[in-house]
Amino acid sequence: MSKVKNWLWDKAEEKLDSIINRVKTNQITKSQAVKEISDADEAWELIGFDTVEDVIDFVDEVEVQVTA
């Protein structure tokens, strides 16, 4: 059971990290990130979120890096 839990945990972390990095580097918009999070079937609770809305709120607070 712990192998499955660890796999789900890693999968959720990797998905969230990927989305955050793409939002920060302006590769996707926050609305695209929200869509990806909503469509994802991840175990968000394993990385500290109670609901999908909590994940969306977290990503919404990410600041986009501006390059000149």
pLDDT (tens digit, 9 = 90+) per residue, 16-60?
Answer: 999 999 999 989 999 999 999 999 999 999 999 999 999 989 988
Domain total of the chain:
1
Residue 15 forms part of a structural domain: yes
Residue 68 forms part of a structural domain: no
Residue 26 forms part of a structural domain: yes
Residue 49 forms part of a structural domain: yes
Cβ count within 10 A of residue 68: 2
What's the confidence (pLDDT) of residue 13?
A: 95
Distance between CA 45 and CA 43 in Å, rounded?
A: 5
Q: What is the pLDDT of residues 3-19, one digit of tens each?
A: 999 999 999 999 999 99
Measured between alpha carbons, how far is residue 44 from residues 20, 37, 68 in Å?
Answer: 14, 10, 35
Tell me phi and psi for residue 7, to 5 degrees: -65, -45
Model pTM score = 0.85
Residue 48 forms part of a structural domain: yes
Q: Which domain holds residue 13?
A: 2-60
Residue 66 forms part of a structural domain: no
Let me know if 55 is exposed, middle or buried by CB neighbors in 10 A (0-12, 13-18, 19+).
Answer: buried
